[in-house]
Structure 1
Amino acid sequence: MAILKLPAVADYWRQKHMFSVPFPGSLMPRDSFRVISWNLHMSDPAEDVINDRKKGTPEYDTLFRVRPLMDDIKIACKSFYQPRLNLSIDERMVATKAKTGMTQYMKAKPTKWGFKLFVLADSSNGYTCDFTVYTGKSKFATGCGLSFDSVVGLMKPAFLGSGYHLYCDNFYTSPHLFRHLRSLKFGACGTIREGRKEAPKTKVNALTRKSPRGSLRWIRDGDLLFTKWMDNREVSMCSTIHPAYSGDTVQRRQKSREGHWETSHIPIPTPIIEYNKYMGGVDLSDQLIQYYSVHHTTKRWYRTLFLHFLDIAITNSYILHKELCQSAQSRPLTHKAFVEQLAAELCGVTLDVAATPKLTGHTPLPTRETTDQSSRATAGRLRCELCKRKGVKKDTPWKCGECDVPLCLLADRNCFHLWHS
């Protein structure tokens, strides 16, 4: 389903149609797939009932129905790959409009309605290192805010160690968070909102709307570096790992006084260059997932998350495949070829499609080949299709080679001739 997109799940088993797909029906009947899908549970249904009775109390677990698989996926993400130096944290939306109390709306995201996940990804390849599913503010009641708790919950020294550089947007960035990460021996860099608590509020030598493009301002507060840069608008950054300026420039086109467009090189702070380079880890992960996603509409909210966990596993597996091929200096499969091979192996088949058997014409053939002369007349006898329709029970060792239907072929009972006439 990740490779071949059809409007409805039942369309994969549609027969005698121009858009019929033969493979799913050869692997599993449609009704069997539906029964498995309808009865898919990641937790014990008896324990689900006990958890539902706790609704409205602190002991109630909103994600109880998906937690066993979710924990296994998170452990696998952290067990098989150690990320590189630069990491990024951002939100990810899993599309759904189910009324669960967890469904969020984010107007700035391409997928505006769905479950919101906080994702930690490797900036170099988009590998999903860890994630949490947002279930409501009541779950983040430490007093430091949702953005603080979501970052601290993902940046775990027990898993990562120390020395990593984290990049995040202005939803997460705060002096309090960056100082806490510094105490854990993590560096951090991100855009910062005006008026953040503990951020410098001085107006001395501040940028104004009339400041020329490329104007730079910075100030240090212990380990924290705050920078402001004028581009089309003012950009504010906070970092614990970069100098304010390293001599870098960026090209911009702007009109001269004579009205001609000219390309100029303007200075740019180092934190902005590094932020633009490493902030896209989660976006890269989302992009890879969307290429070949198994997501489809379902009536149970926990099956939506189940399908997304499959997407994470498939995408991370492909990234690991590329990393292993790179270390072995061999050529990796394309993303499409990898997903096709993975599907074939999980289904226990090969990608090689058997050639269509050549039509033999409407000629009589034995229902089963045999070398035993004594049983040749009775081997593989099947119920004659024409006799069965007449309500007569007659067996025959013959069938039509093209129709693949068992038919009598006797001097006094030539069902083969009657069937084709």
Structure 2
Amino acid sequence: MPGVQPPLIFGKMSPLDIFSQYFDDKVLKILCENTNKNAERNLERGRKFTWAEICPEEMKKYIGLLLYMGVMDLPKVRDFWRKKTLFHVPFPATVMSRDRFLTIFCNLHISDPMEDAENDKKQGTEAYDCLHRVQPLLDIMRNRCMSIYHTKQHISVDERMVATKAKVSFKQYMKANPTKWGIKLFVMADVNGYTIDFKIYTGKTKFSSGKGLSFDVVTSQVNQDYLGSGYVVYCDNFYTSPLLFRHLRQLGFGACGTYREGRAGVPSTKQNALNKRSPRGSIRWIRDDDLLFVKWMDTREFSMCTTVHTVYSGETVLRWQTTEDGQKQRVPVPRPTAVRQYNKYMGGVDTSDQMLGTKSVHRKTQKWYMTIFQHFLDISVTNSFILHKELCAIHQNKPMTRQNFQELLAAQLTGVPLDGSP
């Protein structure tokens, strides 16, 4: 059934109970073991710092402080331990000393350092894994995101940029994106912003189907074994193609998206086509077997392809128009069914990105894998908050705000009451 999965639906779940479904004892153990190994290796290399082995309880406190910093948002990490200043923040020092926090920050590691060294020797060969440093957590996070919550019928696929200036071979540049430099992820999200699945883009791989990157991205995430069938996938013109949509239909999925002119299989006829002089609200369509291509004139021409919608169901949308006497008034304009559904359901990944950027734990680092770790943490907190809202709807309770949720989660992870009492 769609929605939150057992055992979360039974009983009252605190923010920590939900968050622990993602960052459980297994994840904490991996982080602690590899962080201790990395610190030992750094000491052997001659680096000067004092180290005591970190345990899962202390790792939870470290993560709690990261969430606390996401809420407080001071410019530098060291600012949280400043004293004798108007901007003094007393809480972090009661949980962990500044030097201990910074030492953990510098030594935190996801993978086994010895295995990293072996993998680095394979660089330039097919055996080299460029995601080795995040692989232990990557697989776990993807599985947890898919197993804890089952998406509702309408899902969207789009790309996401995680900002970083670290030196890494698969860093991408996207001119039109607000985050121009970073690590690109292909994301599948529910309409409520829940991150269902994601894939880190590392460039062309030997596992390519030969049908194009956009085809491979969607088919790798829209998994029939996991989802079943009957879902509707929404995507933009980078992904939309007749080849992809027909393939999804064979698997039992509907699809809807904007498309680019000139793509293989897209009708190219000019007969009865729209032009700049076409009245606002004009609709043209061509049906090609199970594909419906729709063009609609709004302020500009809008092109859609769908396998699940009718051309027009009688819906109108209000638009400003100038009358013959020069007055402006809002008049009803016909709108195709596919356009309305696309506008309603395509924004899942954008909603997810906005929520991830709220109270983010992201801190500047030259280690790309630590940027990914911070992003995993943001995904876990954001997904946990969405589950909290879903559970409150089930039990007819009023949900917390995102800030209150993260504040309470940070307090529970650090083991301190939210009101600050001893």
The interval holding the TM-score normalised by the smaller chain is 0.7 to 0.9
Distance 1:140 1:34 in 2: 40
1:302 to 362, 369, 376: 369
Report the more deviating stretch, 311-320 or 86-95: 86-95
Determine the structure 1 residue equivalent to 2:139. Answer: 71
Alpha-carbon spacing, 1:139–1:127, altered in 2? closer, same or farther (3 Å): farther
Name the structure 2 match of 1:176.
243
Task: Measure the CA separation in 2 of the matches of 1:316 and 1:239.
Answer: 29
State the SS of the aligned residue for 1:116: strand
Considering only aligned residues, what root-mean-square deviation do their CA atoms show, in Å? 1.2
SS in 2 for 1:283: helix
3-state SS in 1 of match to 2:357 = helix
Q: Distance in 2 between matches of 1:37 and 1:2?
A: 15
**Counterparts of 1:65-104 in structure 2 under 5 Å?**
65-104=133-172
Cα displacement string for residues 94-129 of structure 1 (whole angstroms, at most 9, x for unaligned residues): 111222121112122221211111110001x11000
- Offset from partner CA, 1:164-200 (integer Å, 9 cap, x none): 1111100110000101111110100000001110111
User: What does residue 200 of structure 1 align with?
Assistant: 267
**Aligned mate of 1:117, from 166, 181, 185:** 185
Q: Given the alignment, which residue of 94, 98, 108 partners 1:40?
A: 108
Question: 1:218 aligned to 2:277?
Answer: no
The answer to whether the Cα contact below 8 Å between 2:232 and 2:255 also exists between their aligned partners in 1 is yes
Q: Does 1:54 align with 2:122?
A: yes
CA contact (8 A) 1:140 1:149 kept: no
State the secondary structure of the residue aligned to 1:232: coil
SS at match of 1:33: helix
Distance 1:139 1:89 in 2: 23
Say if 1:140 and 1:146, in contact at 8 Å, map to a contact too.
Answer: no
What CA distance in whole angstroms lies between the structure 1 residues aligned with 2:80 and 2:366? 18
Once residues 175 and 325 of structure 2 are traced to their aligned partners in structure 1, the CA distance between those partners, rounded to angstroms, is 41
Task: State whether residues 281 and 333 of structure 2, in contact with CA within 8 Å, keep that contact through their aligned partners in structure 1.
Answer: yes
Q: CA deviation at 1:55?
A: 1.2
In structure 2, runs of 5+ residues without a counterpart are 1-68
Q: Does 1:346 align with 2:420?
A: no
Q: How much does 1:138 deviate?
A: 3.5
1:331 alignment counterpart: 398
What is the deviation of 1:50?
Answer: 1.1
Equivalents in 2 of 1:78, 1:139: separation in Å?
26
CA contact (8 A) 2:317 2:334 kept: yes
CA distance in structure 2 between the aligned counterparts of 1:140 and 1:286, rounded to whole angstroms:
28
CA distance, structure 1, for counterparts of residue 208 and residue 396 of structure 2: 48
Query: Counting helix residues as a fraction of each chain, which structure ranks higher?
Result: 2
Q: Which runs of 5+ in 1 are unaligned?
A: 356-421
CA distance in 2, matches of 1:8, 1:145: 43
Tell me the distance in 1 between the aligned counterparts of 2:310 and 2:121: 55
Conservation of the 8 A alpha-carbon contact between 2:170 and 2:202: yes
Q: How big is the shift at 1:144?
A: 1.0
Asked if the contact 1:43–1:68 (Cα under 8 Å) also holds between the matched residues in 2, the reply is yes
1:141 aligns with 2:200: no
**Structure 1 residue identity aligned to 2:162:** V
TM norm structure 2: 0.82
**Partner residue in 2 for 1:6:** 74
| SS of aligned partner of 2:338 | helix
- For residue 72 of structure 2, give the secondary structure of its aligned residue in structure 1: coil
1:244 to 311, 315, 318: 311
SS across alignment from 2:392: helix
CA deviation after TM superposition for structure 1 residue 140, in Å:
6.0
- Aligned to 1:2, the other structure's residue is in SS state helix
- Report the Cα offset of residue 309 of structure 1: 0.3
Aligned to 1:209: 276
Amino acid across the alignment from 2:338: P
Q: In terms of Rg, which structure is larger?
A: 1
1:29 to 97, 110, 121: 97
For 1:372-397, what per-residue CA distance to the aligned partner results, in whole angstroms no more than 9, with x for missing partners?
Answer: xxxxxxxxxxxxxxxxxxxxxxxxxx
Give 3-state SS (helix, strand or coil) of 1:126's partner.
Answer: coil
Q: Which amino acid in structure 2 is aligned with residue 116 of structure 1?
A: K
Name the count of aligned residue pairs: 354
Distance (whole Å) between structure 1 residues aligned to residue 296 and residue 290 of structure 2: 20
For residues 184 and 232 of structure 2, what CA distance do their matches in structure 1 show? 24
Q: Per the alignment, do residues 139 and 63 of structure 1 end up closer, same or farther by CA in structure 2, a change over 3 Å counting? A: farther
2:141 maps to 1:106: no
Provide the TM-score with structure 1 as the length reference.
0.82
CA offsets per residue over residues 261-286 of structure 1, 9 Å max, x none? 12211111100010001011011111
- Is this contact kept in 2: 1:116–1:133, CA < 8 A? yes
Task: Give the match's secondary structure for 2:272.
Answer: coil
SS at match of 1:246: coil
Aligned to 1:406: none
* 1:250 partner SS: strand
Residues in 1 aligned to 2:133 and 2:224: alpha-carbon distance in whole angstroms = 28
Whole-Å separation in 1 of the counterparts to 2:256 and 2:206? 26
Distance 1:259 1:58 in 2: 68
Deviation of the 1:139 alpha carbon? 5.8
For 1:228 and 1:62, how far apart are their aligned partners in 2?
43
